[in-house]
Structure 1
Amino acid sequence: MYCESVRFLAIKDDKIVGRIAGIINHKYNESFDTKIVRFTRIDMIDDIEVTTKLIDSVIGWGKSKGMTEIIGPIGFTDMDRMGMLVEGFEYLNMFITIWNPPYYKEHLETLGFVKDVDWIESVIPWPSVVPEKVTRGAHITRRRFGYELVKYKRKKDILQHIYEAFDVYNRAFHDLYGFFPVTKEVMDYYIKQMISLVKLDFVWFVFDKHKKVIGFGLMMPSLALANKKSNGRLLPFGLFRLLRALKRFKTIDFYFIAVDPNHQGTGVLSMIMEDGIKQGIKYGVLQALTGPELELNVKIQTQWKDFNPSNYKRRRCYKKNI
């Protein structure tokens, strides 16, 4: 694999009081000519001494490997949970994000960390009808380009196009912060992890006239409350609660909509959103959560402007020279 990692536990008075992991993504560093060590999976009690020990452990390891900068929280890939919550502590986190107390931010800034990038999360009221602009855009796209929106009734049918879809994902998000292409091994990991929870009404493939995947969309019923009730555990009742949440829900999580760069701006998003809104109306959805989106990604911020989004959370990746 292209990553190297290390894990540390903080123990005080014979009790575990913190944890952290360090990552060096060698391929990313080589590709972007950087010497970055990442920290991730950080948790600690409200004790600056504990936080200092955890961070210093990763810094020491990184420096021993020749690294000159530390950033985080950020994981192995762009599909990992990333960013530290700095605004919106009163809200329930999404299934794909992490909640942390306000003192996490205070500790890092006390240790000299500064903002590298922020992600914004928004809540969008679900439309009661498909907006005419979306319907018109989808119709024009189908007529002009011959694109086809495809949904499958069996999960095994998704697998025949999933690698092609991930290839679109890699190319669509290539220029985003911290991104490095997802390998087949990583794809297999996430497919195995998520396939049982995917709801087929909210999975879309868009094909061009040559039957090539050019767009891929995934939304999910919110699993956050079910996950919280089980304290993040699948057993003994966690899996049952998650499966029940897939049937009864009022909130939809936007995981991602990836469009091949050569086909962006052609209306693929409208095709996916047209059907997505219809499905949400059918299930009685009241709102959607966008998930973390880069603050400076004007393109993605703009695409939701007609849906009256409200920013309610902010996550941050910090950096520090070492």
Structure 2
Amino acid sequence: MVEIKEVKTRKDLKQFVYFPYKLYAGNKYWVPPLVMDEMNTLRRDKNPAFEYCEARYWLALKDGEVVGRIAGIINYKYIEKWGQKNARFGWIDFIDDPEVSKALLATVEDWAREKGMTGLHGPLGFCDLDREGMLVEGFDEMGTFTTIYNYPYYPVHLENNGYVKDVDWLEYELEVPPQLPDVIQRASQDALRRFNLKVLDAKKPKDFLPYVKGIFALLNEAYKDLYGVVPLTDMQIQLYTKQYFGFINPDYVKVILDQNDEVVAFGIAFPSLTQAMRKTNGRLLPFGFIHILKALKKNDTIDLCLVAVKPELQGKGVNAILMSEIHKECIKNGIVKAECNPQLESNVKVRSQWRHFNFRQHKRRRCYIKYL
């Protein structure tokens, strides 16, 4: 028999966070998140998303042993913006036992109904910079630090419990060519000249700090119409700046400015942390941080994380500037491969830009929904 236990104490929360490390022990594709990041994201006193979200977490136990977990989240800014009374589920993991997955999902469904919600969708986080989407294709492909990996039985369990596709995200692996196609180089040069743009000359992470506000403002603007997106708050922006800007490699962060020094586009890539995170097993101490620092300095793969262009400049060659600038750094640093973060299946404009490269679409992830 499955027992469902709500997470109430710090000890419970640690069990919740550590469960996938046990479930995926020995799996050669799973990339562990940082334990510290997971704890901070799930704690009400640490995550500023709780300004507009509420959440509860549950563990599933069998014979006193943790066999599953799930989070239920209500994002009130999402409901206000999109007019859909959908709760979210996230942080869902379970052994291959239909009784366990059914009990976990039923618990969140009951809670969502009690809160007046009419649907439940996920896996989603508190905001759109959290990991989202259940893997439905590409189970034998290496995961990345910024995405969810799950066993092939997960989507089967979801569908058996009445969940259907809401949206899909696709992921691509690109070969970095020795030279960019002429069409991209010409488009880059034309866009720089035509719109009087320039590339920020940043040598150190601190060189980006005067532009952080503009970067996040553009992120909010450019992503506002994408699936389920709600704008990041000032508190969230401060948190992400503090957490991540000290770790960026300026070679792979490109900011495009107009004649008034306003941010009109940016691209953020990271040297792949996949193998480093697997070595750390989610812990920075005592030696985990060394693996991360090594990966940031020497790597043959980058993860393309975020790209944003002012709506009025989209489709006018500004993306080509970002490609051209990042490509120069890839060649200089010996990068041969790029992993693209998930892109909405419906976002044909973004996906079509990869046609200029040797690429393969190797993963697909899904947001499921069930109407209550």
TM-score range, shorter chain: over 0.9
Q: How many residues align?
A: 322
**Partner AA of 2:340 in structure 1:** T
Correspondence for 1:313: 363
TM-score, length basis structure 2? 0.84
Gaps of 5+ in 1: none
Gaps of 5+ in 2: 1-50
Correspondence for 2:35: none
Residue 200 (structure 1) aligned with residue 265 (structure 2): no
State the distance in 2 between where 1:190 and 1:90 align. 31
Correspondence for 2:328: 278
Correspondence for 2:271: 221
Correspondence for 1:267: 317
- 1:288 CA displacement: 0.7
Correspondence for 2:142: 92
Correspondence for 1:298: 348
1:1-322 correspondence to structure 2 within 5 Å? 1-322=51-372
1:240-269 deviation digits (Å, cap 9, x = unpaired): 111100111111110011001122122211
Bigger mean CA offset, 60-69 vs 265-274: 265-274
State the distance in 1 between where 2:84 and 2:278 align. 38
State the distance in 2 between where 1:153 and 1:89 align. 38
- 1:136 CA displacement: 1.1
- 1:220 CA displacement: 0.7
Correspondence for 2:48: none
- 1:129 CA displacement: 1.3
Contact 1:151 1:200 in 2 (8 A): no
State the distance in 2 between where 1:158 and 1:203 align. 9
1:192-228 deviation digits (Å, cap 9, x = unpaired): 2222321110111111112111111101111011111
State the distance in 2 between where 1:313 and 1:142 align. 34
- 1:32 CA displacement: 1.4
- 1:45 CA displacement: 1.1
- 1:141 CA displacement: 1.2
TM-score, length basis structure 1? 0.97
> Which consecutive aligned stretches of 4+ in structure 1 deviate over 6 angstroms post-superposition?
none
1:219-240 deviation digits (Å, cap 9, x = unpaired): 1111011111222222222211
Contact 1:130 1:278 in 2 (8 A): no
1:150-178 deviation digits (Å, cap 9, x = unpaired): 13112122111111111111111111111
Bigger mean CA offset, 19-28 vs 227-236: 227-236
State the distance in 2 between where 1:237 and 1:23 align. 34
State the distance in 1 between where 2:341 and 2:322 align. 17
State the distance in 2 between where 1:266 and 1:306 align. 16
State the distance in 2 between where 1:99 and 1:145 align. 41
Contact 2:68 2:104 in 1 (8 A): yes
State the distance in 1 between where 2:243 and 2:158 align. 31
